[in-house]
A and B are shown apart, each in its own frame.
Chain A
Amino acid sequence: MTDPAMNGRPAGGGPPGEGGHPGDLPVLLPSALSRTGPETRLRPAHAWLLCGLAAVALPAWAQAGSGASSPLEVVIRWAPLLLTGFAFNVAISLMAMLLGTLAGTGLGIAMLAEGPVLRRLAWTVTQVFRNVPWLVLLFFVMFLVPFQVTVLGVRVPLPDWVKATFGFALPVMANVAEIVRGAVRSVPTTQWEAAESLAFTRRQILWRIILPQCAKRMLPPWMNVYALIAMATVQASIVGVTEMLTLTAQVHAAEGGRPELFAPLYGFALLCFFLYCYPIDRLTARLERRFETR
């Protein structure tokens, strides 16, 4: 994935006057306007973030005695392990997103059903799973789903990370259902009427005419939900799944539990998630802007 913030930047980032002759009036300069685009505003932000991290990490570094290794060395030494944990987080989030999207699309369509019973039931399910804290849902799944199930005489073990994936898929399902419903609602009624007059059945209208139009509208909010779920996967460490945050705590203990190591190690976790979620956030904002103008 490329960083979308890179694309909005003009090739020549030098001082103004680069493109013209010395002595040109400012109005004659070619690319003065394009440098004030919204993408460029985040360049100082990066610098500030790094400054903040450095301000936290440097005193910690200075405190470290000569006998123990410095926080930076510790982070570098354990980075492969921590990044494996991060990859596991990403894997959980992708699977939860897949499951949640499939279930949520069904639930969203059920919310648009003609029958009042199905519609009200789907609405209730959506509201419950949207309004309960994600951590509570996670506890719910972890404690109330058995550690193995017997399907047709075959015992299927359910390790804790599978249960956690289900736990994250539930809120994704509810949020995706709302997105689907909102997107279908935003398609003009005339589309339904035109399709009906062409003798399409309700199912055909939904699958062939309405939903293909919705896909584009649904993309930005759907990506938003993904960024949220990717950040929420660290909550799995609270219920005992071994992922990045659990590993971070273990690494800290393995390095002797020195208090000055907390900030660099958790800072590293913050940085990993930032580098993963920030491009998604920018891409979402860009897609939103692009679809809005049409």
Chain B
Amino acid sequence: MIDTIQAWFQRLYETTGLNFTVFYDAYDWNRYVGGLRMTLLLGVTTILASLAIGAVGALLQSSPSRLLRGLVNGFVVAFRNTPPLVQIFFFYFGIGTLLPAARTADGLRAPILDNVQWAIVSLSLFAGAFNVEIFRSGIEAVPKTTVEAAEALGYTRLKAYRHVVLPLALRVCLPALNNNLINLLKTTTLAYAIAVPETLYAVKQIWSESQNVLEMMLVLLATYAVLVGALVWIMHRWERALRIPGYGR
């Protein structure tokens, strides 16, 4: 099976000159799969972390403390209105070099967080800032009477938030959340700039060595079309599964 695929792409190269090295060269294939795995790792971790940041931020935004509210607002405003690429550079180069670092046995600098971890941190914060706003709009859409009913049943503020408000708010803001998470998956390509070996980075390496820019570009476009398509499909399934009976349609 694999042999036939490899032979087919080899023949494609010999007959048409379209050189898809990834599909017959084991070395390039491994690099490509490694990049794909890194993109998936980035995507899954940043989506989960940004959801957590959004939920906590939205909770803090309704807290009685003015200081906390101001902090969350400042975070949201600052991260929404600055370029994510500069944020990544600021965190990785700026903060990363200020933090104390250990030395390896060879005397090399071993920072606390490596480039992959910094990419995850800064991308999560970037998407988390958007999620805070999205969740807040969802929470505002939950009727006040529902919260009061929960309070009357003896829920504490935190418990009411977790069991009553958040599940309802999540359903209200899912369309906006879909958009943001898809955007986040696309933004993971920016990790390329700090040499995180994700799909774009791997594909760039392959095309600079094998001189097949057009073919690898097509592979790259197809890869992201499939990745984004898969995420859209999953989110739509989720949206349908979470649908509140009796609303819409």
Q: Which residues on A are within 8 Å of B, measured CB to CB?
A: 41-42, 44-49, 52, 56, 59-60, 128, 131-136, 139-140, 143-144, 227, 231-235, 237-238, 245, 259-260, 262-267, 269-270, 273-274, 277-278, 281
A135 and B74 within 8 A (CB): no
**A235, B97: Cα distance in complex, Å:** 22
Tell me if B112 is interfacial: C-beta within 8 Å of chain A: no
CB distance from B236 to the nearest CB of A (A): 14
**Given A44-B66, A270-B86, 16 further pairs, Cβ under 8 A:** A44-B74, A45-B74, A48-B75, A52-B74, A131-B186, A132-B225, A135-B189, A135-B192, A231-B82, A238-B192, A259-B93, A262-B94, A269-B86, A270-B82, A277-B82, A281-B80
Task: Please report which residues of chain B, range 68-87, place their CB below 8 angstroms from some CB of chain A when the two chains form the complex.
Answer: 69-71, 73-75, 77-78, 80-87
Tell me if B200 is interfacial: C-beta within 8 Å of chain A: yes
A44-B73, A45-B70, A48-B70 given; A259·B82 CB < 8 A: no
B74 and A131 within 8 A (CB): no
B81 and A227 within 8 A (CB): yes
| Interface SS majority for chain A | helix
Tell me if B40 is interfacial: C-beta within 8 Å of chain A: no
Task: Please report which residues of chain B, range 54-109, place their CB below 8 angstroms from some CB of chain A when the two chains form the complex.
Answer: 66, 69-71, 73-75, 77-78, 80-87, 89-90, 93-95, 97-98
**A140, B222: Cα distance in complex, Å:** 13
**A58, B71: Cα distance in complex, Å:** 20
Stretch from B6-14, B17-25, B212-220 contacting the other chain: B212-220
Residue from A140, A235, A278 in contact with B81 in the complex, judged by beta carbons closer than 8 Å: A278
Q: Which residues on B are within 8 Å of A, measured CB to CB?
A: 66, 69-71, 73-75, 77-78, 80-87, 89-90, 93-95, 97-98, 182, 186-190, 192-193, 200, 204, 213-214, 217, 220-221, 224-225, 228-229
Residue from B80, B182, B187, B225 in contact with A128 in the complex, judged by beta carbons closer than 8 Å: B225
Residue from A128, A135, A245 in contact with B86 in the complex, judged by beta carbons closer than 8 Å: A245
Q: Which residue of A lies closest to B204 (CB)?
A: A139
**A237, B192: Cα distance in complex, Å:** 12
9 A-B residue pairings within 8 Å (CB atoms): A44-B66, A48-B73, A52-B74, A131-B228, A133-B200, A136-B189, A232-B83, A270-B86, A277-B81
**A59, B75: Cα distance in complex, Å:** 21
Q: Which residues of the partner chain B approach A231 to less than 8 Å between Cβ atoms? A: 81-84
Q: Which residues of the partner chain B approach A59 to less than 8 Å between Cβ atoms? A: 98
B213 and A131 within 8 A (CB): no
B73 and A42 within 8 A (CB): yes
Residue from A48, A132, A266 in contact with B71 in the complex, judged by beta carbons closer than 8 Å: A48
A132 and B213 within 8 A (CB): no
Residue among B78, B187, B188, B224 with max Cβ neighbours from chain A (10 Å): B78
Q: Which residues of the partner chain A approach B95 to less than 8 Å between Cβ atoms? A: 56, 263
Residue among B85, B200, B224, B225 with max Cβ neighbours from chain A (10 Å): B85
Residue from A143, A232, A238 in contact with B213 in the complex, judged by beta carbons closer than 8 Å: A143
A49-B77, A133-B224 given; A56·B94 CB < 8 A: yes
